[in-house]
Amino acid sequence: MTMKKSSLYVLAGMLGSVSAPALAQTTPTSQMERLDRGVVALPGNGGGEFVSWRLLGTDDEAATAFQVLRDGVNVSGTITRSTCFVDAKGRAGSRYRVVTLRHGEAVDTTEAVTPWANPYLALKLDRPAGGPGYGYSPNDCSVGDVDGDGRYELIVKWDPSNSKDNSQKGKTGRVYLDAYRLDGTRLWRIDLGPNIRAGAHYTQFLVYDFDGDGKAELICKTAPGSVDGGGSFVSAASTDARITATDNAKDYRNGNGYVLSGPEFLTVFSGETGRALHTIFYRPNRGFGHSGSAAYASAWGDSYGNRGDRFLAAVAWLGGPAARPSAVMGRGYYTQAYLWAVDFDGHELSTRWLHGSVDDNTVNLWDADGKLTTKRHTTNTSGKGSHHTLYANGNHNLSIGDVDGDGKDEILYGQAAVDDDGQLLYSVGYGHGDAMHLSDLDPDRPGLELFDVHEENIEPYGWDVHDAATGEVLHTAEGVSDNGRGLSADIDANNRGFEFWSSNDRKVRSVQTGSVVDSHSTSVNFRIYWDGDLQDELLDGGKIDKWNGHGTTRLYINGKNPYDYNHSSSCNGTKATPNLMADLFGDWREELILWNAADSCTLNIFSTNLPTAYRVPTLMHDHVYRMGVAWQNTAYNQPPHLGYYLPDRFAVKPDDPTGVRTLRSPACDEEEMVYNLAGIRQPGPLSALTKGIYIVRKGAVATKVAKD
């Protein structure tokens, strides 16, 4: 490193902080769950105890401050710039409370928490008994406040070891859904029975407050023989005589283990008790041909459920902020594709609409009364693919957001989108894909953008970035037949907006320009907020990496990978996804849940113990992010994203003619920290960074340095 005299400046005094602009958080209050402060304490990265808590989306940020009490004594002073605190003198037996101040007056004090013994919380589960040749492990999870106390409970799907992809023959064990408090208390267990096959594409479960009573429900596909958390068959919760007359002893599995006959149900369960509240026929329904679907084999293109039994699910506010949210259930994406919007009023489920893209050009739309309208679509909004509807345009996942700015959500299905009323919004047309990402990828364009990778070779495009509201294609690149993985995240502080890359085009590209930022490859899995700056880190199974401008640097938790703690393991085979990743408690950084592969009945919940100088409302109060957590367990799991560009919450102005920007006061004043000229903290020491101009700060002195 060399310091050039012409580029060296010493700034007198402590550099101050800048308040975050209010424009970044735009989620309607009606869509924000009532949450408590979510205080958590765990061993600090350098000793002591690390304490963090939530800033809520409903807080008046300018008027809100906090104090941390250890054993009843204020040890933090008044904190205005962050939602975390390192108590250097804290001990394992310390008891912490957080006091909320509004205009300097104490308005709330939390319950006391004691620090975790380790950098993770080991949540012991009640594993179901296995069967001949198979056992169980915890698979995908979701969260919701099922009892209305402001804290999330965890919903766990148990997968048998003989679960199958739709393309694979063989009988599977049953699928179970459990609810747990974070103290390990099991609230209930649902047994989906013999007629729900186990596998990533069969059971998509939604956990959310659908009726607006402040308590989350669970909605999922069920069948004859499904048993609720109270021990009753779900058919008993129906108002349809055909369902109540169901033979719950009948096993519809054929000799290859597929369930290709018999009725299909949709059930809403109480999140608090697990009891079935109402059951209706699933739509479209293979058993009864409801909604005018064609014969099972001919409609989907095969005779064994590979295409017809691929399901998706999401939560969407289709009626806007003043309405109740809807469950959106999807069926099919390789050929026929259906989206079914269902409402729950606290007593009964009812259809809002049913969208059926039955071929490349035809959309059938049934309204709440069953009235059918048919529309023909002969062109795409953009792109050159031959698929003009949802037909063959869907992904193994989906996303939700108000992309057209009308206050109502749209469903992003991959290469096509559906409006809040069930009408086709647009089709890009490049066909089926495995991964997509929705956010404000380009903060200088209005609205949201979507990055998608493609599997089909209908057109020679391996990926595209398009406008989420209109389908306008912004960037494309030629690819091969199956571009199976792709990720978009804001990893580079020196490049405005998100970056993206994929398994068949590993170069890191800018969303703004489509051009290559760097040719070094990195993982193509999940993103995560972890180290405390405003950029995404990269999560691959149980490893967290930081983009350093030319590759990645490994981030450790007290010197170890998450994988190295308590036999932690990822889920879903080669996909290597977490059981769940979401902002569950503490400050705005995300929690990571991995299961214990040694005992198969423990979840290890990791929370960051790295200080941050940034104060951000809980990510769960951002609408796009919260909807992402709700659909995260769907099929090929994808990470949630914010609906806004996080660095723009902290837009700052130059405070000197040289272009040095005002920096926030760091959490640890004696630690050397390096920032770029936008005030964004950089990973690692100055010696590890690329050529450029930086601010190096230690204590009260900041130095502007040009590195050759």
- 150: confidence class by pLDDT, cuts 50, 70, 90: very high
- 678: confidence class by pLDDT, cuts 50, 70, 90: low
CA atoms of 242 and 280, how far apart (whole Å): 10
Residue type, position 527, single letter: R
- 3-state secondary structure at position 270: strand
Q: Tell me what pLDDT residue 302 has.
A: 86
Instruction: Say if residue 319's pLDDT is above 50.
Output: yes
Question: What rounded mean pLDDT belongs to the chain?
Answer: 89
Beta bridge partners of 439: 449
Q: Tell me what pLDDT residue 457 has.
A: 63
Q: Tell me what pLDDT residue 220 has.
A: 98
Q: Tell me what pLDDT residue 667 has.
A: 41
- 3-state secondary structure at position 369: coil
The set of residues, in sequence order, having a beta carbon less than 8 Å from that of 210 and lying 6+ positions away, is: 217, 219, 268, 315, 324, 325, 326, 327, 343, 344
- 40: confidence class by pLDDT, cuts 50, 70, 90: very high
For tokens 């008027």, the residue is 63
Instruction: Say if residue 208's pLDDT is above 90.
Output: yes
Q: Tell me what pLDDT residue 292 has.
A: 37
Degrees to nearest 5, angle at CA 57 with 51 and 63: 80
CA atoms of 438 and 622, how far apart (whole Å): 13
Q: Which of 4-13, 43-52, 460-469, 678-687 has the highest mean pLDDT?
A: 43-52
Instruction: Say if residue 671's pLDDT is above 70.
Output: no
Instruction: Say if residue 701's pLDDT is above 60.
Output: yes
Q: Tell me what pLDDT residue 350 has.
A: 98
The set of residues, in sequence order, having a beta carbon less than 8 Å from that of 5 and lying 6+ positions away, is: none
Cβ neighbour number for residue 579 with a 10 Å cutoff:
27
pLDDT, one tens digit per residue, over 81-97 is 999 999 999 999 999 99
Q: What percent of the chain has pLDDT over 90?
A: 78
Give the rounded distance of the alpha carbon of 283 from its chain centre: 26
Q: Provide mean pLDDT across the span 472-486.
A: 82
State the virtual CA torsion across 165, 166, 171, 174 in degrees, nearest 10.
Answer: 70
Say which range, 267-276, 558-567, 670-679, 688-697, has the weakest mean pLDDT. Answer: 670-679
Give the rounded distance of the alpha carbon of 446 from its chain centre: 23
Cβ neighbour number for residue 342 with a 10 Å cutoff:
22
- 391: confidence class by pLDDT, cuts 50, 70, 90: very high
Instruction: Say if residue 397's pLDDT is above 90.
Output: yes
Quote the strand ranges of 405-523, DSSP E: 410-414, 416-418, 424-427, 436-439, 449-453, 463-467, 473-477, 486-489, 499-502, 505-510, 516-518
Considering only residues 198 and 301, tell me which one the structure prediction assigns the higher pLDDT.
198
Strands 473-477, 486-489: parallel, antiparallel or unpaired by DSSP?
unpaired
- 380: confidence class by pLDDT, cuts 50, 70, 90: confident
φ and ψ at residue 300, rounded to 5 degrees = -105, -15
- 26: confidence class by pLDDT, cuts 50, 70, 90: confident
Q: Provide mean pLDDT across the span 140-154.
A: 98
pLDDT, one tens digit per residue, over 155-190 is 999 999 999 999 999 999 999 999 999 999 999 999
Residues in the chain: 708
Cβ neighbour number for residue 629 with a 10 Å cutoff:
25
Instruction: Say if residue 362's pLDDT is above 90.
Output: yes
- 480: confidence class by pLDDT, cuts 50, 70, 90: low
For the chain, report the end-to-end CA distance as a whole number of angstroms. Answer: 7
pLDDT, one tens digit per residue, over 433-473 is 999 999 999 999 999 999 999 987 655 568 999 999 999 99
- 13: confidence class by pLDDT, cuts 50, 70, 90: very low
pLDDT, one tens digit per residue, over 512-550 is 999 999 999 899 999 999 999 999 999 999 999 999 999
Instruction: Say if residue 22's pLDDT is above 90.
Output: no
The set of residues, in sequence order, having a beta carbon less than 8 Å from that of 195 and lying 6+ positions away, is: 223, 224, 225, 226, 250, 251, 252, 253, 259, 262
Q: HSE on the CB side for 260, CA within 13 Å?
A: 18
Q: Tell me what pLDDT residue 504 has.
A: 85
For tokens 């880190």, the residue is 537
Instruction: Say if residue 363's pLDDT is above 80.
Output: yes
- 704: confidence class by pLDDT, cuts 50, 70, 90: confident
Q: Tell me what pLDDT residue 461 has.
A: 63
Q: HSE on the CB side for 136, CA within 13 Å?
A: 22
- 3-state secondary structure at position 27: coil
Q: Tell me what pLDDT residue 18 has.
A: 33
Q: Tell me what pLDDT residue 435 has.
A: 94
Strands 537-540, 526-528: parallel, antiparallel or unpaired by DSSP?
antiparallel
φ and ψ at residue 33, rounded to 5 degrees = -65, 150
Enter the DSSP assignment of 316: E
Q: Exposure pattern of 350-365 as b/e (b: 16+ CB <10 Å)?
A: ebbbbbbbbebbebbb
Beta bridge partners of 45: 47
Q: Provide mean pLDDT across the span 486-495.
A: 95
Residue type, position 150, single letter: G
Instruction: Say if residue 661's pLDDT is above 50.
Output: no
CA atoms of 220 and 63, how far apart (whole Å): 42
CA atoms of 75 and 339, how far apart (whole Å): 53
CA atoms of 248 and 225, how far apart (whole Å): 4
Q: What percent of the chain has pLDDT over 70?
A: 89
Q: Tell me what pLDDT residue 300 has.
A: 81
Rg (CA), the chain: 25
SS percent in the chain: helix, strand, coil, step 5: 5, 35, 55
CA atoms of 114 and 183, how far apart (whole Å): 13
